[in-house]
Amino acid sequence: MMKCFSLALLVSLSLIKDSAAAEGDWCYEIQGHQTLGCGPRFWGEHYPTCAKNHQSPINVLTKKAVFDKALKPFHFKGYNITGRHLNITNNGHSAQVDLPTGIEISGGGLSETYIAAQFHFHWGSDEFYGSEHTVDGEKYPMELHIVHKRKTSTGGFGDLAVLGFFYEETAKNNTEYNSLIESLGHISTKDGYKNFSATLDKLIPINELKVYYRYNGSLTTPPCNETVIWTLFNTTIKLSKLQLQAFHNSLNFTEKQRMVENFRPVQKRSDRIVYTSSSQVILSSFQSLLICFIVSFLTIMS
């Protein structure tokens, strides 16, 4: 009798899992408790590219980053356009803002101009930080991705250039985010949307973006296409605790589940090299190692 029950249970679980895959569903780990077979560890079964070797996000080891003199400052076009209303949407996985035409980036070691398409966020919860990438193992409260598409698309690597920004908690509200954060309360349910006013260059520290990391990777959500040139900036964006909490307290995955911890776990770096635009980053890492060596030496000698 017990064997029959166990067999029936396994079949049922398999059907539920296959059903989720058949519908093209995917979810984050925190949602996987409610929908079997849809979390990040199953993405590779349903979307084979998600199991390849050049996936994102990764952990950036600053001491192993290679200085590349070709990584010059970016040129931002249209980031400062005012008077435009942007549309923010709950897409079921994040809060996404679709961008109008006329916003572009060039420079920054890119071979051509890229057109901005949208930006979205990844965040945590009251218990866990929610950035996707980590730096020397350190996770940040939240991460912003501004997605750009190459003007001359080839369908292969380099079709997308994503700018990644980390958030840090500060004591004061960032007033540049007031309109965006206020709109979150209007998009609690999937497909909910709201217009708000913002200028893109006010949402990021646009005058402090000379230091960054660069590597080749993928989308951090299915189908996980390995077509992304990733840029992760060293300078963080500051938000207050209440502003950060607004993200994981306002949106829902479903009617019954709050949208929290919408991040993919760190993936293996494999054979990829992470480059940096700043020789000072390398020098800083060397100085830290030198200090550790001196302290260890003095300890032994004493």
CA neighbor of 247 nearest in space, from 111, 76, 121? 121
Give the total residue count for the chain.
302
- Pairwise CA distance, residues 138 & 160, whole Å: 26
Strands 114-123 vs 95-98: parallel, antiparallel or unpaired: antiparallel
For residue 132, the SS3 value is coil
The torsion angles phi and psi of 35, rounded to 5 degrees, stand at -125, 105
Task: Report how far apart the first and last C-alpha atoms of the chain are (Å, whole number).
Answer: 72
The DSSP call for residue 185 is T
Which residue, chain included where needed, has tokens 């990021």?
Answer: 204
Q: Which of 46, 93, 122, 148 is the catalytic position? A: 93
Element (H, E) at 192: none
Element (H, E) at 164: strand 160-170
CB neighbour class for 86 (10 Å; exposed up to 12, middle 13-18, buried from 19) = buried
Q: Is residue 122 flagged as an active site residue?
A: no
Active site amino acids: 93
